[in-house]
Structures are given as structure tokens and as C-alpha cells.
Copies of this chain bind each other. A is one copy, B any other.
Amino acid sequence: MDKKFDLLTFGQALLRLSPVRDDRLVRGETLIRQVGGAELNVAVGASLLGLKTGVITKLPSHEMGAYIKNTIRSYGISDDYIIYDNGKDARVGIYFYEHGAYPRKPNVIYDRKNSCFENININEFKDDMYKSTTCFHTTGITLALCKNSRETAIEMIKKFKENGSIISFDVNFRANLWTGDEARQTIERILPFVDIFFCSEDTARLTFDKSGDVKDIMKSFTQEYPISIVASTQRVVHSPKVHDFGSVIYNAYQDEFYTEEPYKSIDVVDRIGSGDAYIAGALYGLLHYRLDCRKAIAYGNAYSAVKNTIPGDVPSSNLNDIDNIIADHNMTEGYRSEMNR
């Protein structure tokens, strides 16, 4: 943890445009602009918890890229490895998001193709970047977006690994980007380098053809690949506005599973990015507490639970906020205030 960064993440940054809460994409003149992207969300969360964090991405040099850069900076994240595209057609990926209310589901429309991120090139980054971080994180989305981002990501994983970084990877399977077969074949190329592996039970079954109970599945990855930690989140969706959230983590060295009482009846304001917040919390626990999976579970679950209450993709809670939530979650008796004041 004495490198320049504790965590670097690599992926596309997106603009999200949403109608004013409860209204629909098909109507209305006002849209709310927010910044997101699976890997960026992880970086924001990790930075708010106190890790030295940076993002590796590519943005247009015009005002829409500057908006994203400024937002990233405002969360205390380094922009040292952001590449700018001056091309006159340089664009940032966009997605449109509509909140749900039972029986209406949340709805996403992607317009992320042909962003300048797809022109990213391994040669745009200098070699010292690979020595600068304790941990490197990316996701299946980056592998799926286009050939260019896929090969760049794989190359980066290898170079960071060579330079001693811990490699963290989230499958984050999206059926609208690739098929299960494509995902499996590609991910198998990088699993030999992965140290910390995030994969949900459903994805493991559908994409990797795993069977057995969730613990069998988690353990099986560590038997096939030199993975140290596997984490699986468990979300129960009662309605678009009420979820439960918990997770299981497996430590292959210790051959031990960790879990805790899930958060029940979360007041969901915005569920986007809550999976990424889990990863931010879990990586904080693992990196700050020498792979202590109890800490990873506690920070991961709390961070994901509270992210569901925050409008937008990125988390907004700092270490103090999360520590208070964990303390409340673990409290079994005594006076529990209903308000911070």
C-alpha cells in the first residue's frame, strides 16, 4: 500500500440522462445529467472511503468530457491517466435511465457505441503506470464493448500483474453486449491473472455453466484458476423501491466462507451502481485490512445498501458514514438514534 495509488480502474465513463424522478423517458423536457460507468463507480466509492484512486479512461476534449473529468476530480480521484480525444466527432457514451415503480420496471436505453473510449490504445499509456498501483480493477463490460477495449484491457491486466498489482475483476454480465459463450471464452483468457473475482450466482450458472450450491460454485473457480478471493452478491427485489442485499465471500487460502445478516427492506432511491458500490466497499476492506474478508463483507454490504438510497450512479458516502451504518447494522440492543445531529 505504499505505491502512488491503492487502486486504478479501467473502463468507459458514461453520461446518464434521466427524467425527473418518477417521470418517464418518453415525456418531459427536463433531464438530469449524472456521471457513471461500472469501473468509475468503483473508483468513486474507493476514493470516498480513503483509498488513493485513479481512473484509466478516454474522454472527448470538449465540454462534455470536461464535465466528466471535473466530476471525477470532485470525488478526489486522480485524472493522471485520462486520455483526451480532440477528434471533431469524439463523443462520450450516453445512457438513458427511467426509474421504476411496481409494476413498472426501471428501464435503460444505451447509446454507448462509438464513444471515443472505443479508440483507446495501449500505446497511449506509459510504462510507469503499471508500477503505480497496489490493485487494478476492471469488468466484463470493458471486455464486451468492442475489440479495441477488450484487447487493451487484457493487455493491461497482464502488465499490471507483471508489475505486482493485485488484479480484481467483476464479471458484470450484460446480455445486451455479448452472449454468455462470448463472455465465458473471453473471461477464461484473463482468469489466470485474476486475484479477486466478483461473480453472481446466476451469472456463474448461466455464463460458466456452473452447478451445485453457491458455495460449490464459488470454490470451483478457485480450483480451476489461481484466484484468492471470490465474492457473490445476493439481492432480493421485493419491488423497484424495496430490496434486500447481502453477499458471500470465499477466501481460497483459508478455504473459508464469510457472510453476515443481509440489509432488509432498503429504501431504494436509485439502484444503479449499487453493485459497483459493493465492490468499492469490499476492495476497501480487502486492501486496507490485508485481505480481511470480514471487513470486506461489512464494507461491501453497507456500501451497496446505502448506495441504493443515493440518486445517480456513483456513491456519495465517506468512511465515517459507512462506519456509522455498519455500527447500526451490528447493534442488537441499546438506544439507536433515528437521526444524525
Contact = CB atoms under 8 A, between A and B. Distances in A.
A333 B316 CA distance: 37
A269 B239 CA distance: 14
A138 to B, nearest CB: 20
Contacts of A94: 94, 111
A39 interface: no
Q: Copies per complex?
A: 6
Interface in A15-68: 17, 21-34, 62-64, 66-67
A103 B339 contact: no
Contact of A309 (B76, B104, B309): B104
Contacts of A263: 103
Contacts of A340: 105-108
Interface string A227-258: 00000000101011100000000000000000
Given A73-B76, A107-B339, A26 B316 contact: yes
A236 to B, nearest CB: 10
Contacts of A176: 88, 341
16 contacts: A17-B17, A25-B64, A28-B33, A63-B98, A64-B96, A70-B74, A101-B309, A102-B309, A103-B302, A105-B324, A105-B328, A106-B339, A108-B340, A108-B341, A202-B335, A239-B265
